[in-house]
A and B are shown apart, each in its own frame.
Chain A
Amino acid sequence: MIKNFLFVMSQAPHDGAGVQETLDIILTTAAFDQSVSLLFLDDGVLQLHQRQQSEKVGLKDTAAIFQALQIYDVHEYFVESESLQHRGLKPGNLILPVQEVYRKDINALMRRFDRVISA
């Protein structure tokens, strides 16, 4: 039984264990051969920022785990345009190739999925 999962990443990186724990669900879901897509919005877009260097403050490099997701056949990354703009980021500054989605189209995007899990 395969379902389409959308994980909504809205939390800033390295703010507690939340992102790490969401990555654990994502990896488990992918390992169960489900279809996995990710949507980044609000502070979640910061998870895709290049050159985070989290090891310098003794934290785990979650960006490296996002890049490893490709091995698990997770290829669909959506980013809310307004969230990117508000934080001065451009798709070209990000660690993964993303599809931009305008806020007005987020609802329609979510409706395409069987399961939406927030992070």
Chain B
Amino acid sequence: MNFAIQITCSPYAGNGGLTAFRFIETALQMNHQVNRVFFYKEGVYHAFKYNTPPDDELQLTAQWSALAERHDLDLVVCISAAQRRGLLCEDEAKRQGKLDDDVAAGFRIGGLGQLLEATLTADRFVEFS
């Protein structure tokens, strides 16, 4: 089975993101495919590289980066939702005169067209909100 995933909830306002993470991890272990994970609305907060929760708490952003590297997972963050919430990619950070971009390793900035493409080519589209 080939899954397209959308995540629209903030990592700290509910468990949707963690549930999505475990779903994806399990699906990959069971040899299913995940063609893309699309972060939209409040979901873009998963991709902030300067997220710094206390050391003894769940480091979800770091876990996404590690999962992406392990499985060559495509983590796409919607550009308009991201900019609305202050998450800037390298080009935009430069344009705004910022010193650095905000996107954690393994995530990339994209557009809604990539969500559509993922939903059209997957067998199942699953949302976590």
Interface residues of A (CB under 8 A from B): 1, 3, 17-18, 21, 24-25, 28-29, 32, 34, 115, 117-118
Instruction: Tell yes or no: B115 within 8 A of A by CB.
Output: yes
* Given A1-B120, A32-B113, A21-B81 contact (CB < 8 Å): yes
**Cβ B116 vs Cβ A34 within 8 A:** yes
**Cβ B125 vs Cβ A115 within 8 A:** yes
With the chains together, A104 CA to B120 CA distance in Å? 29
From 83 to 129 in chain B, residues with beta carbon under 8 angstroms from any chain A beta carbon are 84, 111-113, 115-116, 119-120, 125, 127, 129
* Binding site secondary structure of chain B: helix
**Chain B contact residues (Cβ within 8 angstroms of A): what range?**
10 to 19
**Contacts of B49 on A, CB cut-off 8 Å?**
none
**Cβ A115 vs Cβ B119 within 8 A:** yes
**Cβ A24 vs Cβ B127 within 8 A:** no
**Cβ B41 vs Cβ A18 within 8 A:** yes
**Cβ A21 vs Cβ B41 within 8 A:** yes
**Contacts of A28 on B, CB cut-off 8 Å?**
111-113, 115-116
**When A and B form their complex, which 6 residue pairs have the shortest distance between CB atoms, in order from nearest?**
A28-B112, A32-B116, A115-B125, A21-B41, A115-B119, A1-B120
Instruction: Tell yes or no: B48 within 8 A of A by CB.
Output: no
* Given A117-B127, A118-B127, A21-B116 contact (CB < 8 Å): no
**Cβ A25 vs Cβ B80 within 8 A:** no
Residue in B closest to A25 when the chains form the complex, CB atoms = B112
With the chains together, A34 CA to B80 CA distance in Å? 22
Question: What are 12 A-B interface contacts by the 8 Å CB criterion?
Answer: A3-B120, A17-B84, A18-B41, A21-B40, A21-B80, A24-B80, A25-B40, A25-B115, A29-B116, A32-B120, A117-B125, A118-B129
With the chains together, A5 CA to B119 CA distance in Å? 10
**Contacts of A17 on B, CB cut-off 8 Å?**
41, 84
